[in-house]
Amino acid sequence: MAKKPTVAVPKDYLKKIEKKVQDLETLIEVSTIISSTFDFNELIKLVMEKAKKVMNAEACSILMYNRETKKLEFEVALCKTGESAALKDKVSLDIGQGIAGWVAENKKPLIIKDAQKDKRFFKGADKLTGFKTKSLIAAPLVGRSGLIGVAEILNPLKKKSFDSYDAELFQTHCRQVAIAIENAFFHKDSIERERLRNELEIASVVQDSFLPESPVLQKGNIKVSAVNISAAQVGGDVYDFVETAKGRVGVLIGDVSGKGISAALYMAKIISEFRNIAHVADSPGVTLERLNSKLSNAPRGMFLTAVYTVIDPGTGDLQMSVAGHPPFLLISRGEVKVMTVESGPPLGIIPEEYPVYSMSLGKGDKLLLLTDGVFDAKNRQGKRIGFDRIVEFVRTNAGDEQIVKKIVDYVNKFIKDTDRADDLTLVEISMK
């Protein structure tokens, strides 16, 4: 039987093969790490520790690209003694500044044999940490959304400088790092969106619980009905019905500045405070003054425009106070009148006394109170429906028993499939 031929393989060649196998195994480990966690801080340290190990280097770092400041900022820096916190939040580079800035600008990797002799080298980081950069590889981190940052590996431990194989290996590693970072960001965004969705659901439930159980109230000769449509899941418009100490009906409509959760929670506070005050204060002016005082410590920029009306359900006599709210409409004997009465400032801004306006509703008369979401509604072309057009529509349909519904349908037809720009609230007070 013939002997199989033997092949002599140089030891250096075998060592290179073994090194490449080990490098491949490390890259596979990095892939496992990427799929094992979405925690950005944990992930970025793990993958860079692997990079430092496989490259057999003294240190490594990642500078993240801040899209707002347009700068590169140190996110992690690992050296022989552990993590260096001296660089984070203290050193940032403009695009084009330093070797990392050049790599970010050109989106190309660089091998630097002697950093101290390279004109592009930024010495500020070394001065801050006491570390001396000798040789380095800098590679861009680029994802689907563009530049993510720049990764650097510094000072090989067993040779004078990095070579082309090191650069190729580090680039491969950096492609995985970019994927890992982007996946972590997407996961974080997904969790944040879910958290926000849950918060909005809770805020919506809380908000609904503070509104009247029924949008219709009937007492004596007075009927009050309301429509409230939020532009988003939660809104900033408010309305409420109460019975005052003297058996009269109090009707509040208002518009909280801002939108979203903050406006919804502020609205809940407003209704809670309003009910406590309105049950004992019969004058609308006094009620708004006291409510204004309660809202004086509101978060900066938060305020409420409002109209508060107190009506005698037997006679139709009413008193009203206004806090920076839009005019209301009176429908009487088929005619529509725009009612602009003396107003105080919105609630929650400055201490103020609110004037009281008196009038009386006759049989068949109606008051229409509204928020600016009715007349500020916009169509696809960005055109406002406008207050005058709403007034004209009410004049045309003044005799309709379902006037509030018709106004809502008219606004919805105007905006069609466009997202509602603001909350819409209408309150109708009618005298039988």
H or E segment and range at residue 76: strand 71-79
CA distance 64 to 77: 12
Task: Give per-residue burial for 393-430: e unless 16+ CB within 10 Å, then b.
Answer: bbeeebeeeebbeebbebbeebbeeeebebbbbbbbbb
- Residue 182's pLDDT is 83
Q: Are residues 258 and 402 in the same domain?
A: yes
- Residue 82's pLDDT is 58
Q: Give a yes or no: residue 400 inside a domain.
A: yes
CA distance 152 to 198: 40
Task: Say which CATH number the domain at 28 has.
Answer: 3.30.450.40
Q: Are residues 228 and 137 in the same domain?
A: no
- Residue 197's pLDDT is 75
Give bridge partners of residue 358 from the DSSP assignment: 319
Q: What is the pTM of this model?
A: 0.61
- Residue 429's pLDDT is 96
Residue 111 Ramachandran class (φ > 0 left, ψ -120 to 50 alpha, else beta)? beta
Q: Give a yes or no: residue 199 inside a domain.
A: no
Q: Are residues 221 and 276 in the same domain?
A: yes
Q: Are residues 166 and 289 in the same domain?
A: no
Q: Are residues 397 and 272 in the same domain?
A: yes
- Single residue among 155, 186, 217 that ends a domain in this structure: 186
Helix (H, G, I), strand (E, B) or coil at 160: coil
Q: Tell the residue number behind the tokens 């390279």, with chain if given.
A: 118
- Residue 245's pLDDT is 80
Q: Give a yes or no: residue 409 inside a domain.
A: yes
Q: Give a yes or no: residue 194 inside a domain.
A: no
Q: Are residues 177 and 253 in the same domain?
A: no
Q: Give a yes or no: residue 393 inside a domain.
A: yes
Q: Give a yes or no: residue 195 inside a domain.
A: no
- Residue 413's pLDDT is 92
- Residue 284's pLDDT is 95
Q: Are residues 173 and 224 in the same domain?
A: no
- Single residue among 137, 154, 186 that ends a domain in this structure: 186
CA distance 235 to 233: 7
- Residue 282's pLDDT is 84
Q: Are residues 61 and 174 in the same domain?
A: yes
Task: Give per-residue burial for 119-135: e unless 16+ CB within 10 Å, then b.
Answer: ebbbeebeeebebebbb
CA distance 353 to 334: 35
Q: Give a yes or no: residue 3 inside a domain.
A: no
The domain total for the chain is 2
- Single residue among 156, 186, 216 that ends a domain in this structure: 186
CA distance 251 to 243: 9
Q: Are residues 181 and 210 in the same domain?
A: no
Task: Say which CATH number the domain at 232 has.
Answer: 3.60.40.10
Q: Are residues 140 and 241 in the same domain?
A: no
**224 backbone dihedrals φ, ψ, rounded to 5°:** -120, 130
Helix (H, G, I), strand (E, B) or coil at 80: coil
Residue 264 identity = A
Contact 357, 330 (CB under 8 A): no
Residue 249 identity = V
CA distance 67 to 17: 42
Range of the domain at 395: 205-431
Q: Give a yes or no: residue 193 inside a domain.
A: no
Residue 339 CB burial class (10 angstroms; 0-12, 13-18, ≥19): middle
Mind listing the pLDDT tens digit of every residue in the chain (432 residues)?
Answer: 555 555 454 666 555 555 555 555 555 565 555 555 667 777 777 777 877 877 888 988 889 999 999 999 988 888 766 566 667 777 889 999 999 999 999 999 999 999 999 999 999 888 888 889 999 999 999 988 899 999 999 999 888 889 888 888 888 888 878 887 888 777 777 777 777 777 667 767 767 777 888 899 999 999 999 999 887 766 778 899 998 888 899 999 999 887 667 777 788 888 889 999 998 888 999 999 999 999 987 777 789 999 999 999 999 999 999 999 999 999 998 899 999 999 999 999 999 999 999 999 999 999 999 999 899 888 888 899 999 999 999 999 988 889 999 999 999 999 987 888 788 999 999 998
Q: Are residues 180 and 47 in the same domain?
A: yes
Q: Are residues 104 and 224 in the same domain?
A: no
Among 432, 7, 8, 5, residue whose Cα is nearest residue 220: 432
